[in-house]
């Protein structure tokens, strides 16, 4: 059986050769009965990542490389690698050595036992306090819409060939990897692990990229924002009815319901704020519809090696 590895690369100089060596060593020991291929996708790196990829490729005929014209993002790099993968199973793994390569034999074992998707999910992480807090908040919200997502999320995953084909058949721009993968409905097993601390280089996954990924997840993989808008509308209307009833009772008792313009201004501000929030969410959906209509590709490939 042939196992393909898809490895998105963005400013990972120094870690690429070590990642390659760890994967290669497994196929000379525990998985020596399987073939492998490694597809590095350089997402517009400006350091020496591409040079290191090509150096690794010169020493191993099982290594392929795809390069982008600029930085299109991790999801685009993953999609490009998935389209190039030819294995019976495909494993997505990071290039920063934070995903434990030692779990690969167990992933393959679960796949051969009948699992069509094997997810290694983050039960903990050796990251900064901010990263831990962001992950807790983001996945807490996402699990309201997609409860099948593990609490810590995942990127390190094995997919059977038919799962990969189904995933690749989804033709939309703003993809959410975890949601799209679980949506396919194939038999899934889980392996918890602690995400390791990054030892080489600095993470390029900044707050703006995290926020974009979160918005793509919430807006594209669920109807949670629309449900929240509807709920806010119902709650606001209900409170308005209660307040109107109190005014009627006050009028029947001959009391002045309120004095001055303050209550009016408060009501206007509250309702106006709700309207602006709702328009913002609707605007996000309209923007995504516009992106789909334009049909621009998720990435542009410069070279394949």
DSSP string of 231-280?
Answer: HHHHHHHHHHHHHHHHHHHHHHTT--S--SSHHHHHHHHHHHHHHHHHHH
Check residue 10 and give its pLDDT.
Answer: 92
Residue range 212-230: mean pLDDT, rounded: 65
Check residue 38 and give its pLDDT.
Answer: 97
Identify the residue whose tokens are 């490389």: 65
The CATH homologous superfamily to which domain 2-222 belongs is: Spore Coat Polysaccharide Biosynthesis Protein SpsA; Chain A (3.90.550.10)
Report how far residue 135's alpha carbon sits from residue 301's, in angstroms, rounded to the nearest whole number: 31
Of 168, 191, 28, 180, which is closest to residue 108 (Cα–Cα)? 191
When pLDDT is cut at 50, 70 and 90, the band that residue 272 belongs to is: confident
Bridge pairing between strands 117-125 and 89-92: unpaired
Q: What is the pTM of this model?
A: 0.72
Q: Is 14 strand, coil or helix?
A: coil
Tell whether the model's pLDDT for residue 212 goes beyond 80.
Answer: no
Of 74, 99, 84, 90, which is closest to residue 34 (Cα–Cα)? 90
When pLDDT is cut at 50, 70 and 90, the band that residue 170 belongs to is: confident
């Amino acid at each position: 059986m042939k196992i393909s590895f898809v490895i998105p690369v963005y400013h990972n100089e120094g870690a690429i050769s070590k990642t390659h060596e760890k994967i290669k060593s497994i196929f000379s020991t525990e998985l020596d009965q399987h073939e492998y291929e490694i597809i590095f996708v350089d997402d517009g790196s400006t350091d020496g990542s591409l040079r290191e990829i090509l150096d690794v490729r010169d020493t191993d005929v099982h290594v392929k490389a795809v390069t982008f014209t600029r930085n299109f993002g991790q999801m685009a790099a993953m999609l490009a690698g998935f389209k190039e993968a030819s294995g019976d199973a495909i494993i997505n793994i990071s290039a920063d050595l934070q995903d434990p390569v030692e779990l690969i034999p167990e992933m393959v074992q679960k796949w051969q036992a009948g699992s069509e998707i094997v997810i290694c999910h983050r039960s903990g992480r050796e990251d900064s306090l901010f990263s831990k807090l962001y992950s807790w908040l983001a996945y807490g919200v996402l699990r309201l819409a997609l409860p099948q997502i593990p609490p810590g999320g995942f990127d390190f995953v094995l997919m059977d060939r038919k799962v990969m084909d189904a995933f690749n058949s989804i033709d939309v721009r703003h993809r959410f990897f975890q949601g799209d993968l679980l949506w396919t409905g194939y038999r899934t097993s889980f392996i918890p692990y602690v995400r390791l601390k990054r030892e080489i280089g600095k993470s390029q996954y900044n707050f703006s990229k995290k926020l974009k990924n979160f918005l793509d997840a919430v807006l594209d993989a669920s109807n949670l924002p629309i449900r929240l808008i509807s709920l806010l509308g119902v709650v606001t209307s209900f409170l308005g009815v209660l307040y109107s009833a109190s005014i009627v009772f006050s009028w029947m008792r001959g009391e002045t319901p309120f004095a001055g313009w303050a209550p009016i201004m408060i009501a206007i501000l509250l309702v106006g704020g709700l309207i602006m929030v709702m328009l913002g969410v609707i605007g996000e959906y309209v923007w995504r519809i516009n992106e789909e209509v334009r049909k621009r590709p998720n990435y542009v490939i410069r070279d394949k090696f």
